[in-house]
Amino acid sequence: MGQLTAANITTTFFGTLNFAPLLGAFISDTYLGRFRTLAYGSFFSFLGMLGLTLSASLPALKPPGCNQTTQIGEHCNSPSTLQLSVLYLSLGFLTIGGGAIRPCSLPFGVDQFDMTDEKSRKGLYSYYNWYYGTTAAALVFSLTIVVYIQNDISWPIGFGIPTFFMFMSIIALFMGTRLYVHVPPEGSIFTGIAQVLVASFKKRRLELPYPHDINQQELLLYNARTRGNRIFRLPLTSQFSFLNKSAIVRDVDINDDGSARNLWELCSIQQIEELKCLIRIVPICLSGIMCFIVLTQQFTYTILQALTMDCHLGAHFEIPAASVISISFIALSVFIPIYDRLLVPMARRFTGVESGITLLQRQGVGLVLFPISMMVAGLMERKRRNSALSNGGISPMSVFWLAPQLVLMGIAEAFNAVGQIEFYNKQFPEHMLTLAGSLFYVTLGGASYLSTALANITKKITSRDGHKSWLTQDINRSELDYYFYLIALLGVLNVFYFLMCSHYYQYKSMSLHAEESMTIQTKVETDADAEINIDRDAHNN
């Protein structure tokens, strides 16, 4: 394929792959549950990898090599319909698999921890770090060994290795089937969100009881039983109080057994607070997009920089340009155990916080480090460009001059990206954890599209009135350092935005809801001596 066609297909694939978890989260929560969704996703991912391996191996599934003897005019032979079909079908299977695995793998692991046990809770803090750390280690393996095999040895072997690992992961997943805690699907969260919005709008003219005393108000609003014994009951809060009106009980809202007659007119306090959690999280989530824009931009241009530098490691071995960014993942993989085993216990002694520092503080440290990494990248780019222009376009500088910015970026990612994952999984309600898992990848997808838009806008604005654009096809004639400084400035503004959001953010407060300790009145008696679960007269007064 031509470079433009290949780039468009790749961009479309990764964009779709990052948004697919939203659909996967919906299917998991509504129909299949996390384990079954994971199982189906693993199977589809294996089929996708198998298809890619076959397309690179079988002569009938790949076009002939593109060289002088196979060119027609100035173009290579185009792939056939069958060859394209196998490629697109494989990418489609990978998209389905990724959409199922990405939102469910981490929450399914969280399901295995008992949040009522202190030792288990401490184990959960480490679980988030090690989950992301092992993922980063896998990326290092992919960007070094697998890339080297594909470029210099064999594409079939290069695709066959991850295909084999995917097959082994399916076996490993099913080996523990009888040991897992299986949380059944509990219905779509989107329906509950819509019900709260509709009910609060319908009751917008009603007055809340005890508007200045949230504890008294909670006693008079509809507070239904939570679903399952792993759900933490969320207490009523005064923030976004207009939503509380959806739990105001009118005579026509309650059945004789105490249940809601119409879920689109009466919602529980639990539903309301779950929606509030989502509303509070979204502004924090938007700040995370900027850090992924930094990652996307720096990874893209780091490869272009490496192509104009000395990539030799020793006298005979040359590092593939695409493998240079693995320095960032190596830094991340090395730093996470240091953070988990050394820095967290040290910080815990001073702060008293079980995780060392709070979830928002961890993200904030990463957001501060990202602009610093871009400033370092800008300084290094000026040095590289001057060296390349003085030596005919190829700089004699070692590619390891790019290591400082990549190491800084890896440490920043260890703080912010891992912090985001932990933040979403701890601040979302329990049955929204698959949405939490998908939100991280949606943020990645949004950052990819915004990165493209930022580059296009910068290129258009800086090339006005005949000026030389900061971004050109020839990296040595670009002003890439100015572009890095611009991203650093945006990162600084993002830090101030994050601080403002953090100031107004309220952490989720919760208490474990023990079903057996609650007395739920299943029938409203008319006898004066009977206990009334919902005192309608008091509420009407």
Per-residue model confidence (pLDDT) at position 48 = 96
Tell me the one-letter amino acid at 117.
Answer: D
User: Whole-angstrom Cα distance, residue 146 to residue 139?
Assistant: 10
- pLDDT tens digits for 48-70? 999 999 999 988 888 877 654 44
Dihedral angle at the C-alpha atoms of 381, 383, 387, 389, nearest 10 degrees?
60
> How would you class 482 by CB atoms within 10 Å of its CB: exposed for 0-12, middle for 13-18, buried for 19 or more?
middle
Crossing angle of helices 403-427 and 326-338, in 10° steps, is 60
User: Whole-angstrom Cα distance, residue 80 to residue 535?
Assistant: 73
Collapsing DSSP to helix, strand or coil, 232 comes out as: strand
Q: In the numeric block, which tokens belong to residue 361?
A: 């503080």
Residues 111/176, Cβ–Cβ less than 8 Å: no
Question: 69 or 236, which is more confident?
Answer: 236
User: Whole-angstrom Cα distance, residue 238 to residue 336?
Assistant: 38
Q: How confident is the model at residue 75 (pLDDT cuts 50, 70, 90)?
A: low
- What is the separation, in whole angstroms, between the first and last Cα of the chain? 74
* Residue 525: pLDDT over 50: no
- pLDDT tens digits for 163-183? 999 999 999 999 998 899 888
Q: How many CA atoms lie within 13 A of 378 on its CB side?
A: 18
What are the beta bridge partners of residue 312? Answer: 318
Per-residue model confidence (pLDDT) at position 231 = 61
What pTM was computed for the model? 0.74
Per-residue model confidence (pLDDT) at position 453 = 82
Mean pLDDT for 490-495 is 93
Collapsing DSSP to helix, strand or coil, 312 comes out as: strand
Give start and end residues of each alpha helix (H) in 257-314. Answer: 269-307
Per-residue model confidence (pLDDT) at position 197 = 94
Per-residue model confidence (pLDDT) at position 349 = 87
